[in-house]
Structure 1
Amino acid sequence: MTGGIGWYVHHQGAGHLHRARAVAAHLARPCTVIGTLAGLDPGGLPALDLPDDRPLDPAEGFSGRDGEAARPEAFHYAPLNHPGLRRRMALIAEWAERTNPSLLVVDVSVEVSLFARLLSLPTVVVRLAGDRTDTPHLEAFRSASRILAPFPASLEAPETPAWVRDKTFYAGFLGEDAAAPPQAGTDIAVVFGRGGTGGDLPALAAAARAVPERQWQVYGPVSGQAEMPPNLHVHGWVERIGPRVATAAILVGGGGDGLVAMASAQRQRFLCLPEPRGFGEQTVKAEALARLGAAVVRSDWPAAAEWPAVIAAVLDLDPERIGGLHEPEALTRCAAFLDSVAGG
C-alpha cells in the first residue's frame, strides 16, 4: 500500500489548516490532518485530533515559546509536566507506527519536526516568512528532507542562510481562492483573522466616518462598543471570505499568508497592517510587499484624520504588482512536490 502523507497544522489561527486542505485536494496520496482541531473543520480529510499543549494557566498566553531558562537550545516550547504535550506526542508516535506514512509535513513546529526525525519519518518543514535564523528553527530545517516556503522567492528575507534557501521549495501563495478578474467595486473590505486580536469597533467607526463616500464591509472578530455610522457593516466570521471581498475596491487587513494570497490572486489594491507575530513573520512579509510596490503598509491602524490620504495612496497602487506574485498553478505544483518527496 502506498504510504500516505501526514500534515501537522499549528493551532494558532486557521491559516495552517486552510493551507493543508487546499494542497491536500491535489495530492495523489491520502493525507491525514494532525493537530488540535477543536472548532476547526478538516474539510473531509482524515484527522488525528491532538490534546491542547498551550499553557495550563490561560493567563500566561501562548507565543509558541516557553520561558524556561534551562530549555534545550534546539526547542522553542517544551514545558515540563504538561499532560497535553505528553499525550499529543504519544498520539503522533502511535499514528506513525500504525500507518507507516511516507512523509510528514510540519506546518509549523520545531518540536514536532525534531520528534518526527526521532521517529525516522521524512519531513517537509514549512518555513514561514520572517527571521528564522535562530537555533531551533535552523535545527528543524537541518532535520528536514526539504523545506517548503508558502510564499514567492521574491519575498525571501535577506538574512536567510544560503543553505536554507538551497533546501527550500518556493511554493508561492497557497490560498484556496482562485484568481478573479478585476472588479470595478467601490467598497472597502476589512478582514480580521482568527490568529490576532481582531478589530476595534470604535476605530472602525471613526475610519468609516472619515471616508463616508465608501461602504466599509468588515469580516472577522470585532470587539468594543460604538455608534455605527450608516456606511459601516460588520459581518463577523465567514468561512469563504474570497467571494465576499472580490468586488471590493480596496482590501484592508494583516500580513497573514491567507489574506496576502487572496489579495494577490484577486489583484486587489491592498492596505497591509501587519500584526505582531513571532520572528517578525508579518512585518518582514509586509516590508517586502512595500519594496515591490505591491501594497501600502502601515505599522498600526491609521488615525481617523489620516484615512482619506491613506485610501488615496492605496488607490494609486498598480494592482498588477501584487497580482504578479500570484502563481495560478501553485497548489498543484506544491502537491506534486510533496508527492515526489514522499516517493523518495
Structure 2
Amino acid sequence: MTRRPIGYYVHHHGAGHRARAEAIAAAIDWPIVLLGTGLGTAGIDLDDDRPISGRFDGVDETASRPAALHYAPLDHNGVRSRVARITRWIATERPALMVVDVSVEVAMLSRLASVPTIYVRLNGDRIDAVHLDAFRGATALIAPFHRDLEMALMPAWIRDKTCYLPGITAAAYPTARQDNRILVVIGRGGPPGDGAAIAQAARACPDMDWRVIGPVTPSADRPANLDLAGWVDDPGREIARAGLIIGAAGDGLVNAVLAADSPFLCIPQDRPYGEQRATARALHALGAAMTLETWPSPDQWPSLIRQAKALPPHARNRLHDPRGVDAAATWLATMAAAAVDQLEPVA
C-alpha cells in the first residue's frame, strides 16, 4: 500500500495543540508532516496569521466575513502566505488525510483541496454554524478527552462521528509523591499567574511547600515556603511529584493531572466557546476535581486543600487512558489506510 503522508495542522495559541501533534507523530507507524506557525525545523513553518495587535481569539471583526468562517481578515500577508503554502504542499504531496488541530478555515481549505479531514474537536459550546460546517465536512472527529466530559448540548450526530481519545499527551511518572507539596501550574495560553495572590495563599498554609511552574507576576513579599520555578523542561514529572495540583482546565494539564492520579483544584480560565469552564464543570460533577470560579481568599486555602485531597481517586482514574497516544496513533493510521484505499488512482 502506498503510504501517502498525513498532514497535521498545529494551531499556535497555547501549547496543547503542538504537544498532541508531536506525541502522535512520535508514536504512529505512518509518515506524518506537521504544519504550523513557530514549528521551525519540526515541520512546515507557516507565516503568522495573527493581527498586528497580537490579541488573537480566532475571530476577526471583518464586516464582510462569510458566515462559514471565524477568521478571514482582509489584506493580511501572513494569511495569504500560509494558505498558499498549505495548498502547495497538498498539491505536491497528495496527503491521505489532513488532521486539523484546530482551525475551521484550514479544515475548509483542506476539504476544498480535495483532502479528507480529521478535525480535532475541543470541549465547550461549539455548536455555532461555523463549527457545525467544519464537523459535517470532516471524515471523522477527534475529542482529546473522555466522553464523560462531553457537554450535554452536543448533538448525537457529532458524538457518533467522534473518536474520544483521552491521555494523548500524558504519561505516568514513577516518582515519589511529596504530600505536602502544592504545585501551581501556569500555562502558555493565558495571562501570567498573580504572584501576589499566590504568595498570600502560600503564607496562609505555612506547613505546605508551594511551587509554581510557568510565568508569574512579581511579588514584593515572597514567603519562604514559595518557590517560583518559571518554565521547566518536564512539567509532567513536577505534576507527578506534587500532593495537589492547582491550575486551569486546558487539555494538556487535565490529561497530565489524570495520568499522575493527582488531586486537582481547578480554576478554569476564560477561553473561546467556554472550553475550560465546560471541562471544569464536568470534572467537578464527576468528583474528579474540585472546581472554583475564581482564585479564593487566603483564609479559604487550608479547607480547600483538605477537600481537594479527599476526593476519591477512582473518579479521576476512569477518565484517563494510559495508552492514549498509542490508541490515537493506531486509530489515525487505520483512518489513513482506509482513505488511501478509497482514493481514486491518479492517471
Aligned twin of 1:53: 49
Conserved? CA contact 1:190–1:216, under 8 Å: yes
1:179–1:145 Cα change, 3 Å:
farther
How many residue pairs align between the two structures? Answer: 337
Q: State the alpha-carbon separation in 1 of the partners of residues 318 and 175 from structure 2.
A: 13
CA deviation profile, 1:32-60 (whole Å, cap 9, x unmatched)? 111001xx677xx4x000000001233xx
Asked if 1 retains the 8 angstrom alpha-carbon contact of 2:192 and 2:216, the reply is yes
2:185 matched to which residue of 1? 191
Which deviations, in whole Å up to 9, do the C-alpha atoms of 1:221-251 show, x marking residues without a partner?
1113321100000000113101122121101
Q: How far does residue 28 in structure 1 lie from its aligned partner after superposition?
A: 1.0
- Report the residue type matching 1:168 in the other structure: T
- The residue correspondences of 1:212-227 to structure 2 (distance < 5 A) are 212-227=206-221
Instruction: Please tell me whether the aligned partners of residues 102 and 121 of structure 1 are also in contact (alpha carbons under 8 angstroms).
Output: yes
Q: TM-score, normalised by structure 2?
A: 0.94
Q: Is 1:7 aligned to residue 8 of structure 2?
A: yes
Q: In structure 2, the residue corresponding to 1:185 is in which secondary structure?
A: strand
Unmatched runs of 5 consecutive residues or more in structure 2: 339-347
Which residue is equivalent to 1:318?
Answer: 312
Question: For the residues of structure 2 that align with 1:255 and 1:282, how far apart are their CA atoms?
Answer: 5
Tell me, in whole angstroms, the C-alpha distance in 1 between the residues paired with 2:53 and 2:211: 36
Identity %: 45
State yes or no: 1:306 paired with 2:300. Answer: yes
Q: CA deviation at 1:181?
A: 7.2
Q: Alpha carbon RMSD of aligned pairs, Å?
A: 1.4
How far apart, in 2, do the equivalents of 1:305 and 1:184 lie?
Answer: 23
2:233 maps to which residue?
A: 239
> Match for residue 264 of structure 2?
270
Please, which of 330, 334, 345 is the counterpart of residue 340 of structure 1? 334
Q: 1:157 aligns with which of 125, 130, 151?
A: 151
What pairs up with 1:1-344 in 2 under 5 angstroms? 1-37=2-38, 45=42, 47-58=43-54, 61-178=55-172, 180=174, 183-344=177-338
- Distance, in Å, in 2 between the alignment partners of 1:317 and 1:129 is 23
Q: How far, CA to CA, are the matches of 1:216 and 1:179 in structure 2?
A: 20
In the alignment, the residues of structure 2 paired with residue 327 and residue 286 of structure 1 have an alpha-carbon distance, to the nearest angstrom, of 19
Counterpart of 1:55, as a letter, is: P
SS of the aligned residue for 2:304 comes to helix
Q: What secondary structure, in the 3-state scheme, does the structure 2 residue paired with 1:268 have?
A: coil
Distance across 1 between alignment mates of 2:52 and 2:214? 27
| Contact preservation (8 Å) 1:216, 1:232 | yes
In the alignment, the residues of structure 2 paired with residue 77 and residue 261 of structure 1 have an alpha-carbon distance, to the nearest angstrom, of 29
1:99-132, CA deviations, whole angstroms, 9 ceiling, x for partnerless residues? 1111111000000000000000111000001111
> 1:30 offset after TM fit, Å?
1.3
Q: Is the 8 Å Cα contact of residues 141 and 164 (structure 1) preserved in structure 2?
A: yes
CA contact (8 A) 1:179 1:328 kept: no
Which range is displaced more, 222-231 or 87-96? 222-231
Alpha-carbon contact 1:53-1:84 (below 8 Å) kept: yes
Runs of 4+ in 1 over 6 A off after TM superposition: none
Aligned-partner Cα distance in 1 for 2:175–2:274: 32
> Is the CA contact (8 Å cut-off) linking 1:182 and 1:267 kept in structure 2?
no
SS in 1 for 2:27: coil
User: What's the counterpart of residue 344 of structure 2?
Assistant: none
CA distance in 1, matches of 2:65, 2:258: 40
Distance 2:150 2:105 in 1: 24
Alignment check: 8 A CA contact 1:219 1:238 kept: yes
Per the TM alignment, residue 73 of structure 1 is displaced from its structure 2 partner at its CA by 0.8
CA distance in 1, matches of 2:313, 2:246: 14
CA contact (8 A) 2:171 2:322 kept: no
- 1:295 is displaced (CA, Å) by 0.3
* Distance across 2 between alignment mates of 1:324 and 1:41: 37
| TM-score of the superposed pair, with normalisation by structure 1 | 0.95
Q: Which whole-Å deviations, capped at 9, do the CAs of 1:66-123 have from their partners, x for residues lacking one?
A: 1223211111111111110010010000111111111111000000000000000111
What code does the residue aligned with 1:261 have? Answer: N
Task: Supply the distance in 2 between the matched residues of 1:233 and 1:183 (Cα, whole angstroms).
Answer: 17
CA–CA distance in structure 1, aligned partners of residues 326 and 60 of structure 2: 37
Partner SS state of residue 211, structure 2 = strand
Shift of residue 179, structure 1, vs aligned partner: 5.9
Check whether the contact 1:220–1:236 (CA below 8 A) recurs between aligned residues: yes
| Contact residue 173 and residue 257 of structure 1 kept, 8 A | no
Give, in angstroms, the shift of residue 320 of structure 1: 2.4
